Every structure is written in C-alpha cells, then in structure tokens.
Structure 1
C-alpha cells in the first residue's frame, strides 16, 4: 500500500515510491476537476503505479461529488478500461 498525499494549494496528488514521486496534477473549477497530467518516473514504470494513483484520485473526486474532465490521455484511457468511473465524467457521451 502506497501513501498518497494531496496538496490542494498546488492541485497535485503525490505518491512517493523508493525516493521518486509519482504525480497527478489537476485544476479545480467549482466542482469540476480537470485532470491535466499524470507522471510516473521511468525507474518505476510498469508497476501499475499510475493506475493506483488514478484510482485514488477518482475515488477522491467521487467522494466529493465532483465531475471529472480527463485531459490527461492516461486518465482517459483508464476510465475507458474502468467504466465504473464513467459516472464522474462531465461529458460521458465522449466515452461511449
């Protein structure tokens, strides 16, 4: 289990792993969370860490009843693979 930290001031979620930091950046306007960027350092690639971070953030948004706009291609693809999160989308018809 990885610890995920949220900094609402910088609008960033960070997951420290083995001296590196996986990050997910977003912009919040009202109750609409636009996810702009997800990054996992090359040294940590292939471990499913981006998925862990994305799932955490989508659960976070769901708990606050926020809508999500996935500008980040990874998050968009994640939602396609995990349709249980489509209800969060501001425009779910884009993902049909």
Structure 2
C-alpha cells in the first residue's frame, strides 16, 4: 500500500502510486489547517484513494492538536459520511 506523506513545503498530503500523484492541498493558518482541494488522477480514481488521503490527513491534524476548515468539497463530503471526525472543525467548539 502506498505511503501518504505530508509535504509541508508544498502544503499538501501526497500519495504516490502507479506513477501517479494524488494530493490533498491545504493552507496552514495558525492552528487551523484549511483544506483547499483534493486531486486524484484518473488512473487512481475509484480505489478509495481520496478517502485514504483525507483520513490520514485528519489523523495527522488531530495528532498535532490542530483544527480544520474544509473548503474542499471532498473533505466536506467526507465529514458528512464520518461525523465522528467533525470535532476537528475549527467552529465545532
């Protein structure tokens, strides 16, 4: 299984698989991680890559004691399907 890394220099979580790159881009604003967009190339679509990427990113944000602002439609949809993650929302507390 491909490893997911947080490329802090480019402000994105990355998953390299089969010569393709899937990303979850963000902007760090103090203690809030603003997810701006998620991109999964066609070759990787339909394999749950975006969900794996966001799950990893949210786990990482939680481990750092940060909050999120989901500006990305996919992250918003992920939170709808996984209400247990909504405590990470910057406006949840």
Give the TM bin, normalised by the shorter chain. over 0.9
Q: Runs (4+) of structure 1 moved beyond 6 Å?
A: none
Mapping of 1:9-88 within 5 angstroms? 9-88=9-88
Structure 1 position 92, deviation (Å): 3.5
Alpha-carbon RMSD across the aligned residues, in angstroms, is 1.2
How many pairs were matched up?
93
Question: Any idea what SS the aligned residue of 2:50 has?
Answer: helix
Structure 1 position 23, deviation (Å): 0.5
Query: Unaligned regions of 5+ residues in structure 1, if any?
Result: none
Query: Unaligned regions of 5+ residues in structure 2, if any?
Result: none
Distance 2:82 2:8 in 1: 25
Q: TM-score if structure 2 supplies the norm length?
A: 0.95
Structure 1 position 15, deviation (Å): 0.2
